[in-house]
Chains A and B, each alone.
Chain A
Amino acid sequence: MSPELLNVLEVMLNGLLAGVMYSLVALGFVLIYKASGIFNYAQGVMALFAALTLVGFQTGQIPFAHVINTMFGTHVETWGPGVPTFLAIILTIGVMVLFAYLVERVVLKHMVNQAPIILFMTTIGLAYFMEGFGDLMWGADIKTMDVGLPSGASTWFETTTASWAAEGSNYPGMYVDMLDVSAAGIAILLVVVLTLFSQYTKTGRALRAVADDHQAALTVGISLRTIWVIVWSIAGCVALVAGIMWGAKSGVQFSLSLIALKALPVLILGGFTSIPGAIVGGLIIGVGEKLFEYSIGGMLGGATENWFAYGLALFFLMFRPQGLFGERIIERV
């Protein structure tokens, strides 16, 4: 195969891996939207907060250190060497479940049957709140995420692809980061677990019932509140996984919360209510972005990624207003 083709392949492969990351975040959105009709903009910030908490536990950081220092003039930093990664993950999951419980108890309880736009705005309020809270709790400096995932260029990939190249072309082989591969693996695993959960378990079915109509679900005896706590906890864990992956790739910092904006076009493509839609949508966007940048992007001055996804989604919307897998919206008079 000619080097150009290989280069294209490489770009597509990286696109696919990036796509997996997008669909991972999109998954969190879909879960909450399916179960509560809320388009949770705070999913991105939850990922940031989860990552910060995890790093905090790993490095033994004292929460609200900065606040305590200014209040009492102390200079305390850490309480000890920190906790092994595995335990830190368990603790973070605990924190996220607590967070889900609090959100339902304080905020969502009052918001039953509110207009979607009002619910959407509440989650933006929640995002602002979490951001401020996260910075106060763990400080705003950039942290490195290390959970022992293999990283760095994968030599295996490099050698096999190099052999595909035609003799005599000095094609160096594809550069693929092991981190992306492992991230893809975990993501696929997570998707399988979640699809099984929502299709076949009792709570899964209750979750889908609530998504259709709050009141109808209430009438058949589904406790809306417990379902919401469960859903937000699962979304919290998905956010943690996304936080770990993105954190390992580009460090735990504020920009991580912007990945929510990346997930939006994925949701458009895949439709707000279908899990397979989120996965396929993410992959299409990932590949599309990289390909567009690789081919035409250069001429337009580069960095087209941040708007291309939206352009593609918009183009799609014109033909199928409810996205790839969403149900067809029929309006009655």
Chain B
Amino acid sequence: MAEPTQDGRKIGGTLLEVKNITLSFGGVKALTDISFDIKEGEIRAIIGPNGAGKSSMLNVISGFYHPQQGEVWFRGQKRASMRPYEVARQGIARTFQNIALFKGMSTLDNLMTGRITHMHKNLFWQAIWKGPAEREEIAHRERVEHIIDFLGIQAIRKTPVGRLPYGLQKRVELGRALAAEAKLLLLDEPMAGMNLEEKEDMCRFILDVNDEFGTTIALIEHDMGVVMDLSDRVVVLDYGKKLADGTPNEVRNDPAVIEAYLGVGH
């Protein structure tokens, strides 16, 4: 029952739903009773001022924080208490607010690490290398090369990520998340600290990913222009509570949002 949007993208049923999530760190309430859903194939934005609980919500979705109350439903099943890597295996990949790349490895290795959930050859085969292990490695290397081609980072394929400039590191991290070929992609402020040109590139990448790979995207972002253009639906958080939820236009004209977040007389 996917109704196509105007530019031909199919938005499906609910992929992920959080119900009455409450999260506190020793008395400090980060999130109070928040519920919203993310539909298959859409670009869902989560906005709010600093400290509104955006990143905490992302950490709850990616299984890093376990909420005191509330449930997380993923693809129709209630999520049991899981370790973060099990959540990743279910098909959720993410990028981090301040880049969490593996400094000791090259760009290519970082991207290949993104494919860990898909590689299974055991220790014995890896030791021999020639044969099944190498075949698996090459198959995954080809998929990663397509992502490298897609992001246009061929030239830095073999440079250690520690040496890359900020903009490129952000792109490599997006590449690592794409390599996981996840159902749901969580982007934590992908455009923070970028200049105009880099922002335009990143927007095009996000749109292409959603369009060509059909990946559902949950996007945390401050730049209102970007959010309004990119996202199909927006949820607004403020001081750990849900302020508004709807299409960009509905949210922009919602008085509560205007008063709390966009400043009066927007």
A contacting B, Cβ–Cβ less than 8 Å: yes
Show the binding face of A for B, using Cβ within 8 Å.
333
Q: How many residues of B contact A (CB 8 A)?
A: 4
Task: Report Cα–Cα, A322/B168, bound state, in Å.
Answer: 37
Nearest chain A CB to B215 CB, angstrom units:
22
Q: List 4 A-B contacts (CB under 8 A).
A: A333-B59, A333-B64, A333-B96, A333-B100
Contacts of A333 in B (CB 8 A): 59, 64, 96, 100
Interface of B (DSSP majority class) = loop
Please classify the interface of chain A as helix (H, G, I), strand (E, B), loop, or mixed, using the class held by over half of its residues: loop
* Chain B stretch 73-100: residues in CB contact (< 8 A) with chain A: 96, 100
Cβ contacts under 8 Å, B100 to chain A: 333
Query: Which residues in A have their C-beta under 8 angstroms from that of B96?
Result: 333
In whole Å, how far is B69's beta carbon from the nearest beta carbon of chain A?
Answer: 22
CA distance A108 to B158 in the complex (A): 35
Contact with A along B82-120 (1 / 0, CB 8 A): 000000000000001000100000000000000000000
| Proximity string of chain B (137-151) to chain A, C-beta cutoff 8 Å, 1 when within and 0 when not | 000000000000000
**Min C-beta distance of B151 to chain A, whole Å:** 23
Query: B59 contacts which chain A residues (CB < 8 A)?
Result: 333
Which residue of the partner chain A has the closest CB to B100? A333
Give bound CA distance, A333 to B173, whole Å.
14
Bound CA span A333–B95, Å:
11
Nearest residue in A to B96 (C-beta to C-beta)? Answer: A333
CA distance A333 to B59 in the complex (A): 9
User: How far apart are the CA atoms of A333 and B186 in the complex, in Å?
Assistant: 14
Question: Which residue of chain A has the shortest Cβ distance to B58 in the bound complex?
Answer: A333
Q: How far is the CB of B83 from chain A (nearest CB, A)?
A: 15
Q: How far is the CA of A333 from the CA of B100 in the complex (A)?
A: 8
The residues in B between 26 and 78 inclusive whose CB is less than 8 angstroms from any CB of A are 59, 64
**C-alpha gap A333/B96 in the complex (Å):** 7
**Nearest B residue to A328, CB-CB:** B26
* Cα–Cα distance between A163 and B32 once the two chains are bound (Å): 67
Minimum-distance CB pairs A-B, first 4: A333-B96, A333-B64, A333-B100, A333-B59
State A333–B97 Cα separation when bound (angstroms). Answer: 8
Within the complex, what minimum Cβ distance (angstroms) separates B176 from chain A? 15
A287–B59 alpha-carbon span in the complex (Å): 45
- Complex CA gap A207/B64 in Å reads 36
- A54 CA / B175 CA spacing, docked (Å): 64
Complex: A329 Cα to B110 Cα, angstroms: 27
Q: How far is the CB of B67 from chain A (nearest CB, A)?
A: 16
Min CB–CB distance A102 → chain B (angstroms): 34
Complex: A90 Cα to B61 Cα, angstroms = 64
A333 to B64, alpha carbons, bound, how many Å?
9
B169-180, CB under 8 A of A: which get 1 and which 0? Answer: 000000000000
